[in-house]
């Protein structure tokens, strides 16, 4: 079942907020825990058992690690059990079919390929629970004794489905000691409205151009159409995913939580290294903390550096999806980051800023080809069109440019860090005039986005499939 969370959320959220703030402070985690389970069960009634099993398994492992922390052998065994359970469930539901297909293709066998629907959000909450047991094992955090508090952390509905990936240490104190206030609630509501606008008004509309380009016959894809299509996809996935992250962070603030930021104007990056410090920050942080650094990071010599980067980025690609295009996409970035780490980054710093921007955006847009198109022959044909292997333009491409040019321009402007511009306007007008104006703008944005959501066809968040 497709998870129609946005529509359900509008009916669900007011009741949860009312129950949450009416409940005594000690009961607020229980309200969130039960509400989150209900929210997940609305879209995934069967797989809620899977999430509860994962929650119980890691809670139990955390208690055992707290008891046996001084006995390294036992503690290591408990950690391995936790990792086996989490990775086993993720591997079975997400990668079993891909693995069987690969074996059949390589060995010529004909094993039945499992057709398992992917539990929504499993990649996100699995990484969250793994961060908990690993950090308890390392002695970086104490085990959480309150099962309801731990269950709230795992299932918290604002960021359950598509992140950001919140490591337990980032909210450990907030689970039992957070304090809600009016200013935080207001800031959260504004952040939520911005995220909703990003998704509904920008991502959905700019994505229409990418859909039209995909419908073109291979002979009808010109250089201009190919670049416009990939630019549209790049903007769609940014506003879709960063919009969800904004909504999650905003909802978290409304309930008294502070979640980590997940995006920092990534399309202003001046290198691929810089891009991945700004894009999906929580995933990059997770892989750095729990895979890259334990392997030795960049401190173990050049050969191991290359190995570590390629391995981490192969895993990053597969995390996004169980198919060859995602593996290739991950390795593509692994190679680029390796080249930058070894020598190119030093030279880039000496180049003019516009050159660094152009270099970064060129390779990012090329990379999105392998992310957006799952069939590799089609992806390579599309890449050939982008690189000039077809006519430069035709009337269809010029129509796309005329019809979507203003929207693309507006979307590009919205990629800028507009919060700084808002601060400048506030300084210019003063709080007395700025606050009513900003309040009216947020109200209009909420009204327009809601009206558009009600009128439009269902368009799920792209990262729900991961």
Q: Please give the Cα distance from 223 to 348 (Å, whole number).
A: 27
Residue in the structure block whose two tokens are 């059990």: 81
280 in catalytic set:
no
Q: Please give the Cα distance from 160 to 464 (Å, whole number).
A: 10
Considering the candidates 320, 323, 325, 340, report the single residue annotated as catalytic: 320
3-state secondary structure of 365: helix
Of 15, 248, 239, which is closest to residue 121 (Cα–Cα)?
248
> For residue 272, what are the contacts with CB-CB under 8 A and spacing of at least 6?
333, 336, 337, 340, 360, 363, 364
Inter-axis angle of helices 431-455 and 182-197, to 10 degrees?
A: 50
Residue in the structure block whose two tokens are 């390392």: 138
198, burial (CB in 10 Å: exposed 0-12, middle 13-18, buried 19+): buried
Exposure on the CB side of residue 329, measured as CA atoms within 13 A? 25
Q: Please give the Cα distance from 131 to 302 (Å, whole number).
A: 28
Whether residue 155 contacts residue 47, with contact meaning beta carbons closer than 8 Å, is answered with: no
Computed from CA positions of residues 15, 16, 18, 24, in that sequence, does the dihedral angle turn out positive or negative?
positive
What is the 3-state composition of the chain as percent helix, strand, coil, each rounded to the nearest 5? Answer: 75, 0, 25
Whether residue 340 contacts residue 273, with contact meaning beta carbons closer than 8 Å, is answered with: yes
Whether residue 328 contacts residue 375, with contact meaning beta carbons closer than 8 Å, is answered with: no
CA separation (Å) from 356 to 267, 345, 347, 348? Answer: 12, 10, 10, 6
Q: Please give the Cα distance from 244 to 238 (Å, whole number).
A: 10
3-state secondary structure of 15: helix
- The token pair at 341 is 């780490």
The residues annotated as belonging to the active site are 320
């Amino acid at each position: 079942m497709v998870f129609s969370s946005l529509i359900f959320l509008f009916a669900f959220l007011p009741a949860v907020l009312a129950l949450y703030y009416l409940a005594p402070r000690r009961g607020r985690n229980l309200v969130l825990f039960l509400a989150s389970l209900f929210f997940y069960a609305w879209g995934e009634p069967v797989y809620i058992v899977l999430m509860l099993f994962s929650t119980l398994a890691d809670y139990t492992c955390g208690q055992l690690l707290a008891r046996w922390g001084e006995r390294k052998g036992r503690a290591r065994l408990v950690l391995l059990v936790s990792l086996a359970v989490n990775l086993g469930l993720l591997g079975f539901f997400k990668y079993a079919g891909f693995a069987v297909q690969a074996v059949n293709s390589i060995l010529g066998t004909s094993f039945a390929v499992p057709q398992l629907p992917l539990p929504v959000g499993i990649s996100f909450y699995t990484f969250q629970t793994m961060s908990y047991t690993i950090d308890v094992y390392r002695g970086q955090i104490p085990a959480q004794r309150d099962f309801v508090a731990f269950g709230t952390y795992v299932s918290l509905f604002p960021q359950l489905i598509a992140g950001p990936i919140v490591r337990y240490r980032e909210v450990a104190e907030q689970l039992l000691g957070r304090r809600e206030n009016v200013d935080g609630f207001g800031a959260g509501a504004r952040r939520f409205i911005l995220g909703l606008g990003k998704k509904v008004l920008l991502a959905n509309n700019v994505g229409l151009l990418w859909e039209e380009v995909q419908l073109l016959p291979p002979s009808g894809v010109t250089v201009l159409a190919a670049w416009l299509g990939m630019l549209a996809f790049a903007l769609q996935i940014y506003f879709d995913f960063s919009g969800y992250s904004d909504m999650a962070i905003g909802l978290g603030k409304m309930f008294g939580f502070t979640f980590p930021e997940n995006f920092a104007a990534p399309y202003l990056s001046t290198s691929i290294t810089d891009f991945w410090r700004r894009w999906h920050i929580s995933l990059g942080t997770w892989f750095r903390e729990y895979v890259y650094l334990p392997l030795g990071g960049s401190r173990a010599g050049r050969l191991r550096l290359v190995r570590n980067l390629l391995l981490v980025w192969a895993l990053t690609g597969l995390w996004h999806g169980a198919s060859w295009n995602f593996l290739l996409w991950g390795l593509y970035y692994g190679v680029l980051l390796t080249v930058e780490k070894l020598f190119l980054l030093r030279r880039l710093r000496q180049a003019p800023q516009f050159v660094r921007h152009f270099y970064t955006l060129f390779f990012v847009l090329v990379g999105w080809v392998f992310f957006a198109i799952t069939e590799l022959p089609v992806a390579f044909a599309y890449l050939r069109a982008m690189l000039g292997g077809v006519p430069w333009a035709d009337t269809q491409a010029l129509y796309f440019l005329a019809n979507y040019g203003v929207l693309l321009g507006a979307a590009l402007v919205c990629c800028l860090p507009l919060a700084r511009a808002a601060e400048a306007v506030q300084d210019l007008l003063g709080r007395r005039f700025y606050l009513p104006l900003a309040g009216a703008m947020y109200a209009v944005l909420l009204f327009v986005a809601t009206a558009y959501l009600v009128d439009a066809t269902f368009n799920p968040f792209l990262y729900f499939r991961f």
